[in-house]
Structure 1
């Protein structure tokens, strides 16, 4: 089933002469893990934010599970999706359980149901509920806070998860561990994931398909293997070459 359809989507910000997103069309199937790769300013975050109507497109349509989101209340659209950003945005005066359960509380879930769901999600992100549910964000490491942000985004069991460079501010070792956790969570939940990154290794490691963007345009959208074998644009070729140079560097170091 088609989860997301981008139909000739464009975005031009007021006062700008260029399109931040330039006539992008693509289809994403339910259950896929899609990574959106590109350098700063290429339009990847704008595309992600248009998906949950934090930003409105200047042209084109976005269809979620057959429904044009422009016809749906933006708040309803956002509550149907999980959204994780680099700056986790946990409320410092709330416990971890309260942070994760804030949307269910607003939706008037039963208290015991919220408690059980928090327990389930803390286990899913590999944090012991009995240790962490009553802690505050300041008592957690950056990596642990990011796990809580992920749990909070999953709390209402959304069909789509949007992740905007969620590991960009985390050290390399923790980042690798969180990538492994995210792959496991995706496999266990079978949700549709879209993750924005500027790191080619992260994009190719996590995505079963990768969208490569530059200057607002979608240059290539395919599996990592197919992109490596058949790059369709000079920019894509440069990305592949840079990744191979990094590999060669490490091979030389290990000699």
Structure 2
């Protein structure tokens, strides 16, 4: 299996900052993995992910996506090949669901019939009835439905890599669980490589084929859920896991 994403001694320091937001980070993600990136606010997880599609450029080090050094790639062309989903969804309020999903395919010059067919496929994939939802506007959708449309839009041009930045953070617990389950199914069916940022330990453990735990810009542990639960690398990792266990014990 080939390497989808590779960081080689990557540093990111913002102007006037006294510390690195991402501090000499190196790792590899294999093709078709679902990597969850876990940590508290300010740990560097979102900064790390935003460097993958060049929303931020590294201060030093190299980032490779499917073997290509992205610093030598046009950022607009790079982003068209990478799906991106954020918590705020970012749907265009004046466009229908179909038009929102069709944004990138239209930019790429797809014909109308191909776009219509693709929108139908994607709405079915995210469990929204195409005939019922394609002509609705975002304001006519619930938060969970909007997030499903956001997922469909990110998948529209058939990216091999998906970046998801706390996409379910603003969704209620029941719909959040449903969306997690849908994402796992989509990941398996589409053969995607996914990087999923979250501050929710349970979500990270449920979704990740491997979990990257960050603190103060550094990777604390990067392993499977089983290994992390059984062999936490340090006190920080152990404390994260302990917080989940204490929450469960509260209800016993």
Alignment TM-score > 0.5, same fold: yes
Residue 54 in structure 1 maps to residue 55 in structure 2: yes
CA offsets per residue over residues 205-226 of structure 1, 9 Å max, x none?
0001000000100110000100
Structure 1 unmatched runs, 5+: none
Deviation at 1:65, TM superposition (A): 1.1
- Secondary structure of the 1:53 match is coil
- Secondary structure of the 2:100 match is helix
CA offsets per residue over residues 187-216 of structure 1, 9 Å max, x none?
111100100000000000000100000010
2:209 match:
208
2:146 match:
145
2:159 match:
158
Distance in structure 1 (CA, Å) of the matches to 2:99 and 2:244: 42
Distance in structure 2 (CA, Å) of the matches to 1:100 and 1:59: 35
Structure 2 unmatched runs, 5+: none
Deviation at 1:249, TM superposition (A): 2.1
Moved over 2 A (4+): none
Give TM-score, length-normalised by structure 2: 0.99
Residue 33 in structure 1 maps to residue 34 in structure 2: yes
Distance in structure 1 (CA, Å) of the matches to 2:14 and 2:48: 13
- Secondary structure of the 2:46 match is helix
1:171 match:
172
Distance in structure 2 (CA, Å) of the matches to 1:242 and 1:33: 24
Deviation at 1:82, TM superposition (A): 0.0
After superposition, where does 1:92-111 map in structure 2 within 5 Å? 92-111=93-112
Distance in structure 2 (CA, Å) of the matches to 1:229 and 1:9: 29
- Secondary structure of the 2:113 match is helix
- Secondary structure of the 2:51 match is helix
Deviation at 1:44, TM superposition (A): 0.3
Residue 125 in structure 1 maps to residue 126 in structure 2: yes
Deviation at 1:242, TM superposition (A): 1.0
Deviation at 1:247, TM superposition (A): 2.1
Deviation at 1:233, TM superposition (A): 1.4
Residue 43 in structure 1 maps to residue 24 in structure 2: no
What is the CA RMSD across the aligned residues, in angstroms?
A: 0.6
- Secondary structure of the 1:239 match is helix
1:190 match:
191
After superposition, where does 1:57-76 map in structure 2 within 5 Å? 57-76=58-77
